[in-house]
Amino acid sequence: MAVAIVAVGVVLLVAVVGLLVLDRRRRAATDQCADLETELERMRARAVASATHATALREALDAIPLGVIIGDRTGTVIYRNPAAALFLDARHGEALVEVAIRELIGDAIQGERTSRSLELFGPPRRVLEVQAVPLGDAGTGAGTGGLIVVEDVSDRRRLEAIRRDFVANISHELKTPVGALGLLAETLLGEDDPEVTHPLAERMVAEAFRVNRTIDDLLELSRIEAGEAPVRQPVLVQQVLDGAADRIRPAATLRSIEVVVEPGPLGLTVMGDRRQLVSAMFNLLDNAVKYSEPDHVVTLRSSAVCAEDGSAWAELAVVDQGMGIPARDLERVFERFYRVDRARSRGTGGTGLGLAIVRHVAGNHHGDVSVESQEGSGSTFRLRLPAALANEEAQAG
Ligand SMILES: Nc1ncnc2c1ncn2[C@@H]1O[C@H](COP(=O)(O)OP(=O)(O)OP(=O)(O)O)[C@@H](O)[C@H]1O
Ligand SMILES: [Mg+2]
């Protein structure tokens, strides 16, 4: 009996100990489960964060104006942003760009950083700078591919060329008359006869005038470009036309060219800087007279125009019967120092700044300038400016 009781006791003891061990294991397992869940949660959060980063990165790549192309280690393109697709769409440029990209990805996979300039003849004509950057460490065999960056450098190249031309042109424009002035003055030194000295002095005045004009044009242009706070006063269009016509008449008369100002709409007014507006119209008239022949007529005309959106505009036009401008040059005549044909305009002594000034004046007044021309039969330049409102008109005098 006692043995049986002891045996039952032992069994119970073993069972209790077993239960205790099981309970401890269960708790340990529960703790492990909790740890695993926490770890899983952390991993999930990390995955969400990295997906967000990847989306942000892709959106950023999609938004930048540079073309971005990524190739994997086999050279296969695995990503190209919208800007890169645009470059590839360039007419006639597609094949050229595609080949360059493939070759440059090859360079990048080899671990080389290379770049290349591509000229696309368009239209539009463009210059692209394409750069290859290796991804990963190609040197240790851990390269992951290549990054290609495509940049449209057409505007930058054009500005560089304009700046280069600017320095060359301005040096030339000042050097020629200053050289002539020196020679004329030297000749004058040895002369007493008024028959000889008088024409020499006259030529000196003309050369000095030319230097002065170039410097005036440059100052005017830099003043307008610097964006001096524009004056906003009501200005009667007819007064602008009359003011510019009065300024050009002496030169026009010398060339036997008649300048006619047609009467325009009564009271047509614009808001702006009278001095700048007269200067713009004078530059258009100066060209009309310079590029016309004796007995031609230059006409100044104004009209009120209503645009499709209901806005009211004043249009100031200068019409000539002169030599006209070839179609291929029409876009470019408003650029600084651009002169259609140096040979034909050499005798007219200009700098090529006049129309650049007109364009800036138009811009300062929220307007624009345009040209229509037929070679051999004349040109019409139109300066379009927002017309003043009725209450502003009332102040014009
Ligand atoms: N009315 C016109 N008829 C024919 N050609 C013109 C006319 N206006 C401008 N051009 C052409 O456009 C070019 C640029 O004109 P722009 O007024 O800027 O320069 P410019 O007259 O040569 O010199 P500047 O005005 O500085 O004295 C001229 O050289 C000329 O070839
Ligand atoms: Mg001019």
Q: Domain residues of the chain, as ranges?
A: 62-152, 155-227, 229-397
Q: pLDDT (tens digit, 9 = 90+) per residue, 50-82?
A: 889 989 988 898 888 899 999 998 988 898 898
| Tokens coding 359 | 């364009």
Q: Which residues contact 359 (CB under 8 A, 6 or more apart)?
A: 334, 369
CB 350 less than 6 A from any atom of ligand 1 = yes
- What is the third-level CATH fold of 155-227? Helix Hairpins (1.10.287)
> Residue 3's CB: how many other CB atoms inside 10 A?
7
Model-wide pTM > 0.85: no
Q: What is the pLDDT of residue 217?
A: 77
Of 5 and 281, which is predicted with more confidence?
Answer: 281
What's the CATH superfamily of 229-397?
A: Histidine kinase-like ATPase, C-terminal domain (3.30.565.10)
Q: Which has the closest alpha carbon to 289: 329, 256, 332, 242? A: 256
From the CA of 380, the nearest ligand is: 1
Q: Which residues contact 354 (CB under 8 A, 6 or more apart)?
A: 217, 283, 284, 286, 287
Mean pLDDT of 347-363: 82
Output phi, psi for 312, to 5 deg: -100, 135
99 three-class SS:
helix
CB 352 less than 6 A from any atom of ligand 1 = yes
- Does 325 score more than 90 pLDDT? yes
Q: Model confidence at 138, in pLDDT bands (50, 70, 90)?
A: low
Q: pLDDT (tens digit, 9 = 90+) per residue, 235-278?
A: 999 999 999 999 999 999 999 999 999 999 999 999 999 988 99
Q: Model confidence at 343, in pLDDT bands (50, 70, 90)?
A: low
- Cis? peptide before 65, omega within 30° of 0: no
Ramachandran quadrant class, 267 (left: phi over 0; alpha: psi -120 to 50; beta: rest): left
Bridge partners (DSSP) of residue 137 are 142
Nearest protein Cα to ligand 1, atom 9: 287
CA 64 to CA 378: how far, in whole Å?
A: 46
CB 322 less than 6 A from any atom of ligand 1 = yes
CA 172 to CA 174: how far, in whole Å?
A: 5
- Does 284 score more than 70 pLDDT? yes
CA 213 to CA 351: how far, in whole Å?
A: 9
Q: How far is the CA of 333 from the centre of ligand 1 (A)?
A: 7
CB 214 less than 6 A from any atom of ligand 1 = no
- Given CA atoms 61, 66, 67, 73 in this order, what sign does their dihedral have? negative
Q: pLDDT (tens digit, 9 = 90+) per residue, 200-218?
A: 998 898 888 888 888 887 7
Q: What is the pLDDT of residue 249?
A: 93
- Cis? peptide before 124, omega within 30° of 0: yes
295 three-class SS:
coil
Assigned CATH for 62-152: 3.30.450.20
| Helix or strand holding residue 136 (H, E) | strand 126-137
The rounded mean pLDDT for the chain is 87
Encode 141-180: b = buried (16+ Cβ within 10 Å), e = exposed.
Answer: eebebbbbbbbbebeeeeeeeeeeeeeebbeebbeebeeb
Residue in the structure block whose two tokens are 């009278």: 274
| Percentage of the chain modeled with pLDDT above 70 | 91
CB 321 less than 6 A from any atom of ligand 1 = no
Of 239 and 161, which is predicted with more confidence?
Answer: 239
